């Protein structure tokens, strides 16, 4: 009988994981969108055209993600759909890695399959994972690499040789080389391995693996140290929007949006229960106790670190989700082991599922303007119109997604809307652009009198926004002071 149940679990778990993966892929190809993804897409496109981040255009993140995205798009097509597929597959991979770990941890419970599927659902149905792990942002890659680094590092302690710690370091270093938001994962895993492993060779292997993905960034830093330092360090310290007390209030609100949301409350309450039992009842998890405590340390340190940037955003905390979900699954196991779901309290587990689903719906409704804002087909139509109206050697002023869809190289400094050194406004005032594409509510339409500067204009309306396109300059361009 026990073997029969084990065989059923072996068959049903891949089905559950495949169902979640299909759902993520379907979402990524239908309505998935976020306003910051176009500059990542454009950066990958520029890499494919032969340009180098930092040296040729402003890019405020480590470069691994855009190089991977560029290579992927060379094979599967240079459009947002292929980039979304890559992110959805990586996010699905992170769920599979986390679920397989939970399955191994809960080897002695009869609810092993149910709790493993629950852990997968806690990640896959999380609003931040669904929305930000399926678009052209580094989060899908970072989710996969950080949870893979965790699994490889904890396995390295129990097995001889230097391969596993090397791979663990490679994954952790790859995450840090994709987003600076994941740096604490690398540091915590390195420290934990140093304390748990008595063999210095494992520690050296981990460090060697971690350095490897960062070598391209080091090489770029040697070629243009000032530009790399500005893009990756100085920009984040001094040029991001906001400072002072206002940012403290902003950050506090964003942290509360994560921890105080319905899904955040459910996840963190279950994780707190799991961590509490790991600390107070070590016999329940035996040799896995140390690994669960590591999961807790990763959650706490990463959450504290993600609260520091000025400004921070609640979706940054998507990076914590796999570790919190692992602890949440062990919390559910502990609750079941001590009879919390027996008798009249059997309604509690279905109630948690319903509550978590309600949390997903509420967050989607609240954030609908940000995650469903752009119609990709509408932007494609706008890009075609910009290409039609702009001479081959003329400059077009537009936002990043239009450049990407038009496959048009932006003028210098317009590759990234966050570039603080861009001269876009000076050039607009000097009539340097043959074509201007702006949102209808852009204040520069009035302040620079774009209707007076261009004899031709067109309004393109979509259900969510209206765009003005201006062309045929009234006056010849001048050189700005």
End-of-domain residue from the set 371, 402, 421: 371
What would the pLDDT profile of 298-354 be if each residue is shown by its tens digit?
999 999 999 999 899 999 999 999 999 999 999 988 887 777 666 656 677 778 888
Q: Does any domain span residue 479?
A: no
Are residues 316 and 241 both part of a single domain? yes
Is 242's pLDDT higher than 80?
no
Are residues 140 and 277 both part of a single domain? yes
What's the pLDDT score for residue 372? 63
Are residues 93 and 211 both part of a single domain? yes
End-of-domain residue from the set 371, 395, 414: 371
Domain that includes residue 318, residue range: 2-371
- Tell me what the mean pLDDT of segment 371-392 comes to: 85
| Partners of residue 466 on adjacent β-strands | 461
Cα–Cα distance between 336 and 449 in angstroms, integer? 67
Are residues 456 and 347 both part of a single domain? no
Are residues 342 and 391 both part of a single domain? no
Q: Does any domain span residue 481?
A: no
Cα–Cα distance between 271 and 258 in angstroms, integer? 14
pTM: 0.93
End-of-domain residue from the set 339, 356, 371: 371
Cα–Cα distance between 388 and 376 in angstroms, integer? 19
What's the pLDDT score for residue 6? 54
What's the pLDDT score for residue 457? 96
Are residues 173 and 225 both part of a single domain? yes
Using CA atoms, how far residue 149 sits from 154, 163, 222, in Å, is 9, 13, 28
Cα–Cα distance between 470 and 368 in angstroms, integer? 30
User: Residue 221, exposed/middle/buried by CB under 10 A (0-12, 13-18, 19+)?
Assistant: middle
Are residues 69 and 204 both part of a single domain? yes
Are residues 380 and 453 both part of a single domain? yes
Q: Does any domain span residue 90?
A: yes
Q: For residues 129 and 321, is the Cβ–Cβ distance under 8 A?
A: yes
Is 365's pLDDT higher than 90?
no
Alpha carbon 331 to chain centroid, angstroms: 26
- Tell me what the mean pLDDT of segment 3-31 comes to: 82
Q: Does any domain span residue 173?
A: yes
Are residues 351 and 430 both part of a single domain? no
Are residues 26 and 58 both part of a single domain? yes
Is 4's pLDDT higher than 70?
no
Are residues 332 and 418 both part of a single domain? no
Q: Does any domain span residue 132?
A: yes
Which position has the higher pLDDT, 372 or 428?
428
Q: Does any domain span residue 478?
A: no
User: Residue 95, exposed/middle/buried by CB under 10 A (0-12, 13-18, 19+)?
Assistant: buried
- Tell me what the mean pLDDT of segment 63-88 comes to: 97
Are residues 425 and 319 both part of a single domain? no
Going by pLDDT thresholds of 50, 70 and 90, the confidence category of residue 1 is very low
Q: Does any domain span residue 25?
A: yes
Q: Does any domain span residue 34?
A: yes
Work out how many domains the chain is built from and give that number.
Answer: 2
Q: For residues 210 and 146, is the Cβ–Cβ distance under 8 A?
A: no
């Amino acid at each position: 009988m026990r073997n029969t149940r084990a065989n059923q679990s072996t068959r049903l778990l891949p089905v559950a994981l495949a169902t979640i993966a299909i759902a993520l892929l379907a979402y990524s190809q239908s309505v998935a969108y976020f306003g910051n993804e176009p500059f990542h897409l454009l950066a990958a496109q520029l890499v494919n055209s032969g340009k180098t981040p930092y040296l040729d255009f402003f890019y405020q993140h480590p470069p691994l993600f855009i190089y991977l995205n560029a290579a992927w798009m060379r094979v599967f097509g240079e459009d947002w759909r292929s980039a979304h597929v890559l992110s959805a597959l990586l996010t699905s991979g992170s769920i599979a890695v986390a679920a397989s770990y939970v399955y191994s941890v809960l080897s002695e419970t009869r609810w092993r399959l149910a709790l493993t599927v629950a852990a997968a659902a806690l990640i896959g149905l999380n609003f931040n994972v669904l929305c930000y792990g399926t678009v052209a942002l580094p989060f899908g890659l970072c989710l996969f690499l950080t949870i893979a680094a965790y699994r490889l590092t904890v396995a390295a302690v129990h097995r001889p040789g230097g391969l596993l710690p090397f791979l663990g370091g490679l994954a952790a270093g790859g995450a840090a080389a994709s987003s600076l938001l994941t740096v604490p994962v690398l540091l915590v895993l390195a420290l934990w391995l140093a304390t748990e492993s008595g063999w210095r060779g494992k520690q050296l292997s981990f460090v060697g693996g971690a350095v490897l993905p960062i070598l391209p960034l080091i090489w770029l830093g040697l070629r243009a140290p000032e530009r790399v330092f500005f893009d990756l360090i100085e920009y984040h310290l001094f040029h991001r929007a906001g400072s002072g007390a206002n940012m403290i209030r902003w950050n506090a609100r964003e942290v509360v949006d994560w921890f105080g949301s319905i899904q955040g409350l459910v996840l963190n309450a279950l994780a707190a229960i799991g961590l509490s039992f790991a600390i107070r009842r070590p016999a329940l998890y035996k040799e896995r106790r140390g690994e669960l405590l590591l999961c807790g340390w990763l959650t706490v340190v990463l959450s504290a670190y993600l609260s520091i940037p000025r400004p921070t955003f609640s979706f940054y905390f998507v990076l914590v989700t796999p570790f919190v979900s692992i602890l949440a699954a062990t919390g559910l196991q502990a609750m079941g082991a001590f009879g919390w779901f027996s008798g009249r309290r059997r309604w509690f587990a279905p109630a948690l599922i319903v509550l978590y689903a309600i949390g997903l719906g509420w967050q989607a409704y609240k954030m609908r303007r940000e995650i469903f804002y752009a119609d990709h087909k509408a932007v494609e139509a706008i890009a075609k119109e910009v290409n039609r109206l702009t001479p081959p050697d003329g400059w077009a002023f537009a936002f990043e997604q239009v450049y990407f869809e038009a496959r048009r190289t932006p003028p210098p400094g317009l590759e990234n809307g966050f570039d603080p050194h861009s001269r876009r406004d000076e050039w607009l005032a000097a009539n340097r652009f043959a074509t201007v594409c702006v949102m209808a509510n852009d204040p520069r339409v009035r302040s620079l009198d774009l209707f007076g500067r261009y004899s031709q204009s067109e309004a393109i309306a979509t259900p969510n926004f209206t765009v003005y396109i201006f062309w045929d300059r009234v006056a010849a361009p001048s050189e700005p002071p």
